[in-house]
């Protein structure tokens, strides 16, 4: 930690099968660390839970778990399928992925941002990941319960 901002080190294995200064494949690029292990500062809103967009409505918890399970610190996937608010609209998926700590979540987010679910299907969506907001951290604030 420096200057009051958290950071996550990219030393150690990011994904099973990678170690220390070995090359890491991410988003169709190979990144060589060459023994240098920089620390990447975490944003103030960093949490140990990721919010994932871009999943098809018919995906399963098991399928999503297979994407995230290789990452160190992975805990669980929570999926909620919501019906569209518009008549005839498609259902959508709310997906939250829990990790042991914000640095673990940040590593997965950095690696999987833009991940294409099916590289052989032209219209396959790309994943969009962000840190999940903590309860009560919604914009607008204030008490939302019944009085």
In a domain, 142, yes or no: no
Q: What is the pLDDT of residues 94-137, one digit of tens each?
A: 999 999 999 999 999 999 999 998 888 888 889 999 999 875 44
In a domain, 93, yes or no: yes
Higher pLDDT, 38 or 32: 38
In total, how many domains does the chain have?
1
Whether pLDDT at 90 is above 60: yes
In a domain, 1, yes or no: no
Indicate the pLDDT class of residue 22, thresholds 50, 70 and 90: very low
Task: Give the pLDDT confidence score for residue 104 in this predicted structure.
Answer: 96
Share of the chain above pLDDT 70, in %: 64
In a domain, 32, yes or no: no
Using DSSP, state whether 6 is helix, strand or coil: coil
In a domain, 97, yes or no: yes
- What is the CATH classification number for the domain harbouring 74? 3.30.70.330
In a domain, 50, yes or no: yes
Enclosing domain of residue 96:
43-131
Task: Give the pLDDT confidence score for residue 110 in this predicted structure.
Answer: 95
In a domain, 7, yes or no: no
Extended strands (E) in the chain: 7-9, 24-26, 29-31, 39-41, 49-53, 74-82, 92-99, 128-131
In a domain, 111, yes or no: yes
Positive/negative CA dihedral, 133, 118, 77, 88: positive
């Amino acid at each position: 930690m420096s200057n009051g901002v958290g950071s996550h080190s990219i030393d150690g294995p990011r994904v099973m099968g990678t170690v220390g200064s070995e090359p890491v494949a991410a988003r169709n690029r190979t990144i060589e660390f060459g023994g240098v292990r920089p620390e990447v500062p975490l944003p103030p809103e960093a949490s140990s839970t990721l919010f994932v967009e871009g999943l098809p409505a018919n995906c399963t918890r098991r399928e999503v778990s297979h994407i995230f399970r290789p990452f160190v610190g992975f805990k669980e996937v929570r999926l909620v399928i919501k019906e569209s608010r518009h008549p005839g609209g498609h259902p959508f998926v709310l997906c939250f992925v829990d990790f042991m700590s914000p640095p673990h979540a940040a590593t997965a987010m950095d690696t999987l941002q833009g991940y294409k679910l099916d590289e052989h299907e032209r219209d396959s969506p790309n994943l969009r990941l962000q840190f999940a907001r903590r309860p009560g951290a919604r914009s607008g604030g204030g008490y939302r319960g019944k009085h």
